[in-house]
Amino acid sequence: MIHLSALERFLAETLQPSAITDYAPNGVQVRGRDSVERVVGGVSACMDLFRAADEMAADLILVHHGMFWNKDSRVVEGILKNRLAFLLARELTLMAYHLPLDRHPEYGNNAMILKKLNLKPSAPFGWYHGTHLSFLGETPAAEDFDHMVTRVRQLFGGEPLVLPFGPDKVQRVAVCSGAAPELVYEAKALGADLFLSGEASEPLYHFAREERIHVIAAGHHRTEKFGVQTIGELLHKQLGIEFHFIDIPNPI
């Protein structure tokens, strides 16, 4: 068991949220009970995750996508009202780390994707407000594109969107989890053979085809599971906190 304030300090020191300009608040979003023994993690704040955490008698919910975004209305109504009422009635704490959990060089979503695909980071990639979210990764040797697609399917599950417009063999892979289709331009400028992200956009298709670069959109949700899982494992190892990751299905 640990005091919530100590957990806050640990995660702030580990993830360094002040090091990047984000468009969502990072850290505690809803403050519940002071002591934390059991943590439930998930990708996105939603009622299904909240109910599952309550059924497991969790003290705290840790997510990548929280409940509050800078562009949102400040009026508490609808699903926001329902979610807040549920958490407050049960004294459940909600913590969220958005871009800090994408960019962390060891525990972040992108770092874990690179590691799991055996891609060696070779150049910073995904520049945002003066810092980079990810890296261009390189395979140990040039690899058939079809084989890379198979490995991506095995890692993320589901059926990714594949735009096979690049070379037959790939070695340089630009990775950015979530929704970052605009980074295909930066990927091409870095000499990537493949741009791997979570979501695609309409202009991406023609750019990839004309510039001859492969694109794989493996799913926003599916590409952003690893960071929360890895941080949860760290909390268990370093602080002795019980951690459970709950994957609430999302095909997007």
pLDDT per residue over 125-157, tens digit each? 999 999 999 999 999 999 999 999 999 999 999
The domain of 122 spans 104-220
Question: What percentage of the chain carries pLDDT values higher than 70?
Answer: 100
72 with 138, same domain: the answer is no
Q: How big is the CA angle at 27 (ends 22 and 28), to the nearest 5 degrees?
A: 135
Q: 139 and 162 share a domain?
A: yes
Give CA separation, 194 vs 120, 127, 147, 246, in Å: 14, 17, 13, 30
Name the DSSP letter for residue 201: -
Backbone angles phi, psi at 66, to 5 degrees: -85, -160
Query: Is 227 inside any structural domain?
Result: no
Return the structure tokens found at 100: 């800090």
pLDDT tens per residue across span 71-93:
999 999 999 999 999 999 999 99
Q: Are residues 81 and 111 in the same domain?
A: no
pLDDT in tens, 56-75: 999 999 999 999 999 999 99
Q: Indicate the pTM of the whole model.
A: 0.96
Angle between helices 47-55 and 78-89 in degrees, nearest 10: 10
CATH of the domain at 110: 3.40.1390.30
